Chains A and B, each alone.
Chain A
């Protein structure tokens, strides 16, 4: 007797076996002639520079944290989706309250600009200052011309 999970397990088993067999069969068949270039880390044909270990921006971490929180929300809503019909309007409302409270967290994040990524902004030119300079030079020119 095979349960539904048993079928899934057979799928997983076949997938794992298929990958392992494919990799090792290839290893047995293919010729092996390593050179230094072949063993290097592939970097778009360039010579390797530095370690691949770069420090991430902390912003990625915030996104990952938010993802975790909403992942938990999804997990909690999954049982709700299956059973809310049994409890009528009451069951529906409970889910909605939960969703609204968590949606507020999302809206807050959006509103506070945490979903907008820093773009390179062109350096602003101080227009007033430039104008003043321009006027000054103009007046100087005027003065000079008067002279």
Chain B
């Protein structure tokens, strides 16, 4: 329990979101205008929590008797989650009007999902990891199916729920085995005695099951089957949230295992596993994405390949990889949220407008959207002066330092393949004549969100040191 006012102050992001959920629910129940009030409440909550986390980044403390870490590494993750969610809320204000009902619940569920992610990122106890994961996942299952009129949305929710519950089963079974061997749920004491525990085969099996469960959540290759359908079927803003902050939250847990092997001088038993996962995800995602005509589906496969690039860092397992993955996650979050923001603007009037053909000639219709979309595509492809490039760069460097040069080579090779389908969209926007007549309605909030993501992507690209130094200051 918090002992003094300073600890309560550090808890404030969690408390504010927790209170925000309650207030939002009350407003949803008793106000007729809830759908105009709730976006602003959630926006305030997210911006407050994000800014508060980044301001108090140096105040690293563990609260509740070894349950929750605030400040430091979790603060960076909280910043990514909250600012990402705030940008998506800006997008949703207009987009969500497309759906007939459940507008208020949409915002409440997003707040709950973010609360779950923050719990995951700051957890110092296996219980906390699990309960945060469940809070996030259950909110996402419902969010995927929030558009009940569309059968593909229902399918997405069902598929996501079944496979997600399956993955959760793996995680719980792994936790049971880990607890059985270590007799503790505290992450810190498990990490400290990691080398003694790993002599027990059951501990390794438990940890492997735990990692497999989270491989589902990060959408890595052999566990990716839900990704394309779920990303395509869900509402675009929800997909944006799932693919960025959801992935970041799952990686924040996987980084715990990385830190365990760092502290114990590289007893890196899982490096082969992560190397295989990384290779398969990168190549599979990049190659299959080429065949996609639907933009959301294409970005789903690109999300698989990005999970692969990040998994390179997990395989490398050195301190460069640690900061590299966090940088990559931040960069990936903002460029992907920007891309999904633009898709949500184009898709608003008609669900069929997620095809590549809908983007033909966008440059003449709306130069600003086309310019930002190209920016995000260049960033996702990893073209140099943008944030995506430095994410990949740091991860590849860490692989080379860990004598995994072949993995970095595969990564570069896969990036080259992926340039093809990212740039194909740019070609469509600038050099093709438009076939369909799309009536574009660009509302100012969505545009603001896209512009902010674009600025962040450029800023992290031009001066990557600003973010990297921040990450390095908390990692060491």
Contact = CB atoms under 8 A, between A and B. Distances in A.
B29 A101 contact: no
B26 A104 contact: yes
Given A108-B28, A108-B29, A101 B22 contact: yes
Contacts of B1: 90
Nearest to A91: B1
Interface string B12-42: 0000000000100110111000000000000
Contacts of A112: 29
Contacts of B30: 111
B19 to A, nearest CB: 11
A68 interface: no
A107 B22 contact: no
A111 B29 contact: yes
B260 to A, nearest CB: 31
B38 to A, nearest CB: 14
A65 to B, nearest CB: 12
A107 B26 CA distance: 9
Contacts of A90: 1
Specify the main secondary structure of chain A where it touches its partner.
helix
Interface in A101-131: 101, 104, 107-108, 111-112
Contacts of A111: 29-30
Nearest to A101: B22
Nearest to B30: A111
Interface string B291-314: 000000000000000000000000
A107 B28 CA distance: 11
A100 B28 CA distance: 16
Nearest to A90: B1
B102 to A, nearest CB: 10
Contacts of A108: 25, 28-29
B28 A104 contact: no
Contacts of A100: 22
Contacts of B22: 100-101, 104
A107 B29 CA distance: 8
Contacts of B28: 108
B238 to A, nearest CB: 21
Nearest to A94: B1
Nearest to B26: A104
6 contacts: A101-B22, A104-B22, A104-B25, A108-B29, A111-B29, A112-B29
Interface of A: 90, 100-101, 104, 107-108, 111-112
Given A104-B26, A108-B25, A112-B29, 10 more contacts: A90-B1, A100-B22, A101-B22, A104-B22, A104-B25, A107-B29, A108-B28, A108-B29, A111-B29, A111-B30
